[in-house]
Amino acid sequence: MNLPLSDELIAEANARELAALEDDYDSLGRKLSRTGIDIDAIKARVADFSVAVPSWGAGRGGTRFAKFPIAGEPTNIHEKLEDCAVINQLCRVTPRVSPHFPWDKVSDFKALREEAADLGLGFDAVNSNTFQDQPGQAHSYNTGSLSSTLEATRQQAIEHNIECIEIGQQLGSRDLTVWVGDGTNFPGQQDLARSLDRYLEAAAQVYAALPDDWRMLLEHKMFEPAFYSTVISDWGSSILAAQELGPKAKCLVDLGHHAPNVNIEQIVARLHRFGKLGGFHFNDSKYGDDDLDSGSINPHQLFLVFNELVEAELNPREGFDPAYMIDQSHNVTDPIESMLSSAEAITQCYAKALLVDRAALHGAQQANDTMMAFQALRRAYTIDVAPILAKARAEAGGAIDVLGAYRESRWRTRKSQERKAVGLGAGIV
């Protein structure tokens, strides 16, 4: 393996932090043992946890108004993989990258898989793109893609998704994530029922091309780019489509793709109940699909989502194996720093959910003791689990202080001297 940062840099940074970490870890261990929790067992669960990072998240995002690139930003999939390797080397919870096509297209995918493996990375779900036109494309997606009224356009979208499956097989992926921007901006623009029929018929052809051990993850989104109606707008449309397509079709919940204040943890529980929870995209939002950093606005909601995911782990339904991924847009920060911070926030919420006294919670629920049921969650939420994560990271070769070690590495500055500049322009990602 050929990791991007030097092990000595991480070891030296850790040496300065180790005594304080041991002290904090031992103290937290004594506190948890008083309630019968073995901190080392929690640490082992945390060490097993992982979340994928999106290849496109390695670059700076933007809004439809502007994008402000930074010097040293990755310009192609090879440089994106390098940056993702830096993230994983420091935090040790992001060993897989979710690629996006055609953005990450190369001529030799076997070589790309080896290149990633050499950086300590594998590939997660492949993402198709039928929401924008590519140079030289025969049919525009300006009428939609899988639900377009134009048969040739639908066929092109089907073929693109099947090509993504074929690429994913070469990369070692097992999931195809399908998000379509299809929808309308005007009442009457399209028939609401017939557009779903067209989507289902086209999606069934993609589904038919799935290898036996593959899943098709349907990602719903309430609005944008379409602002009046969206074909797969909510978890209801998503689960109906997944049920119609078959057992390999599952629903993917993106934290940002709902109406404000929707109870997303309940959606997680519902989808799991029917064996249809296939994956989760982590981000945060204030107004809508803002793609803010995970846990930056509402960490308590993130904890409540993980509380349901841990409940789901304890009560698995058929094939429960959710694909966890960060999906956010880094418009004003160094994307590596945002993903390090987000991976930490996500793993913290997972660790806190593991600390919930399930017997106390379920007992209080059964006894209709509302306050004690809530307190079972609150007690876990208020525990500072940072020492558990830091120790798990350090034992896996990562950094105790991930952002500190990253800044010390001067990675971005060094890359700004090697990589060519990214152009200006708008760019929702």
Please report, as ranges, the residues that interact with Mn ion according to CB under 5 A. Answer: 254, 281, 327
Minimum CB distance to Mn ion smaller for 89 or for 177: 177
Q: Report CA-CA distances (Å) from 424 to 71, 81, 338, 357, 427.
A: 12, 22, 21, 51, 9
Q: Report CA-CA distances (Å) from 135 to 14, 123, 138, 341.
A: 48, 26, 9, 36
Query: Least Å distance between CB 146 and Mn ion?
Result: 17
* Chain position carrying tokens 């349907």: 218
Query: Least Å distance between CB 281 and Mn ion?
Result: 4
* Chain position carrying tokens 């080392």: 40
CB 419 within 8 A of CB 73: yes
Query: Least Å distance between CB 176 and Mn ion?
Result: 14
Minimum CB distance to Mn ion smaller for 257 or for 393: 257
Minimum CB distance to Mn ion smaller for 254 or for 284: 254
Query: Least Å distance between CB 364 and Mn ion?
Result: 35
**CA torsion 190→195→196→198, rounded to 10°?**
180
Minimum CB distance to Mn ion smaller for 190 or for 329: 329
Tokens of 374: 């809530």
CA–CA distance, 250 with 216 (Å, rounded to integer): 6
CB 36 within 8 A of CB 385: no
Minimum CB distance to Mn ion smaller for 54 or for 398: 54
Query: Least Å distance between CB 421 and Mn ion?
Result: 28
**DSSP state for residue 55 in the 8-state scheme:** G
What is the radius of gyration, based on Cα positions, of the chain?
A: 22
Query: Least Å distance between CB 252 and Mn ion?
Result: 7
Minimum CB distance to Mn ion smaller for 54 or for 168: 54
CA–CA distance, 276 with 270 (Å, rounded to integer): 9
Query: Least Å distance between CB 3 and Mn ion?
Result: 28
CA–CA distance, 361 with 342 (Å, rounded to integer): 28
Q: Report CA-CA distances (Å) from 31 to 350, 355, 360.
A: 19, 12, 18
Three-state DSSP at 397 gives coil
Minimum CB distance to Mn ion smaller for 29 or for 54: 54
> Which secondary structure element, helix H or strand E, spans residue 12, and what is its range?
helix 7-33
Query: Least Å distance between CB 351 and Mn ion?
Result: 24
What is the Cβ-side half-sphere exposure of residue 34, based on CA atoms within 13 angstroms? 5
CB 230 within 8 A of CB 182: yes
Minimum CB distance to Mn ion smaller for 281 or for 412: 281
CA 194, 198, 204, 207 torsion-angle sign? negative
Tokens of 159: 């073929």
Minimum CB distance to Mn ion smaller for 254 or for 265: 254
Minimum CB distance to Mn ion smaller for 254 or for 311: 254
Query: Least Å distance between CB 327 and Mn ion?
Result: 4
CB 280 within 8 A of CB 288: no
Q: Report CA-CA distances (Å) from 162 to 104, 178, 220, 269, 289.
A: 16, 11, 20, 31, 28
Minimum CB distance to Mn ion smaller for 248 or for 281: 281
Query: Least Å distance between CB 16 and Mn ion?
Result: 38
Query: Least Å distance between CB 230 and Mn ion?
Result: 14
